Amino acid sequence: MLKRGSTIGILGGGQLGRMMAAAATQLGYKCIGYAPEGDNVAGELCEDFFTNRWDDKAALAAFAARCDVVTWEFENVPVETARAIPAGRIFPDPRALETAQDRLNEKRFVEGLGGRPAAYAKVDSPSDLEAAADRLGAPGILKTRRDGYDGKGQWRIMSGRDAAGLKLPDVSTIYEGFVEFDAEFSVILVRGQDGEIRFWDSARNVHEDGILAASLLPAGDIVEPQVAEARRLAGEVADALGYVGVLTLEFFATREGPIFNEMAPRVHNSGHWTIEGAATSQFENHIRAVAGLPLGDTRTVAGVIEMRNIIGSEIAGAHAFLAEPDCHVHDYGKAEVREGRKMGHLTRLTRA
């Protein structure tokens, strides 16, 4: 158990790290961040911040020496960077990054645990893509196996002609067949160092232009009957990885049951509602887990909840939402405002 005043290192400098640092401070810990140059908004809440390349071994060693434990807020932190932190002082285990960073490996891993991903095929050449579109059908989506988020690194294939005419990116890719779904939802859990797992209620997620627009609770009659099966898979994933901290799995709700979409080995955008809407937020419970503290209660404390992302220039008028009863605004403090960028979020609550 991490004693009061200890230092938690955070790999990554975005808004998730910022909210993680706020939770850590509340619990009496200090935070130090580490990320390459950029709009590292987490640094505003950290005692210190290392602005160095991911492969800077000397800087990583200096960073690790000042931290009692290290975690990450960004799933694209290089595995080699995470492994540079001494074993037993970084949570979750870097195996989680290694699994989630390659979409092909991730799907095979989940299949091995009995999960059902969308039909997929490895694509390394134009002929592979044409064969995949022919076998799995179109429409479908071609995705880079690594990197990519919020709709980036993805190409919709509407027909075999699209597959034949697309110039492939110079990286490994994967083709996913189209899934007919009624809703999207996420399962967010926290797993402690002793193996205890707790789940938050699942939100129904609404995407616009490949970006999460809103998360809604209750999730509704389409989603709720499928949550138990999805939770079973998420728990098995967490146990198989020896996971410590908050883990997110995203699903499609279909007539055949939940279809696995992807996992995020970190706190998640669709869990931001937990700050005001749950007894213990995902950020506090992540810190509790990596610090070896008892996990907090994850029950929902409001009857109806809407979390909505504030995108791009919408941030300029965000304070107007505070006129609404029980509406909470979070501004991430990002200096550069651009369309499609998550600048903050708001949470509306209707108390039970």
The answer to whether 90 and 82 have CB atoms below 8 angstroms apart is yes
Instruction: Name the E strands within the chain.
Output: 7-11, 30-35, 48-51, 69-72, 120-123, 140-144, 154-157, 173-177, 183-191, 197-199, 204-208, 211-217, 245-254, 257-264, 304-311, 327-331, 342-350
Torsion sign over Cα 62, 66, 69, 72: negative
Annotated binding site: 103, 143, 148-154, 176-179, 184, 207, 261-262
Q: Is the distance from CB of 117 to CB of 260 less than 8 angstroms?
A: yes
What six digits make up the tokens of 63? 């960073």
| 287: nearest Cα among 13, 97, 22 | 22
**Cα distance between residue 156 and residue 208, in whole Å:** 15
Concatenating the DSSP letter of every residue in 15-84 gives HHHHHHHHHHHHTT-EEEEEESSS--GGGGGSSEEEE--TT-HHHHHHHHHT-SEEEES-TTS-HHHHHT
Does the N-terminal peptide bond of residue 225 adopt cis geometry, omega within 30 degrees of 0?
A: no
What are the tokens at 78? 């290089």
Nearest to 234, CA basis, from 101, 108, 115, 71? 115
Instruction: Determine the Cα–Cα distance for residues 164 and 58; give it in Å rounded to an integer.
Output: 47
Are the beta carbons of 21 and 15 closer than 8 angstroms?
no
- Indicate the annotated binding residues for ATP: 103, 143, 148-154, 176-179, 184, 207, 261-262
Virtual torsion, Cα 120, 144, 238, 244, nearest 10 deg: 180
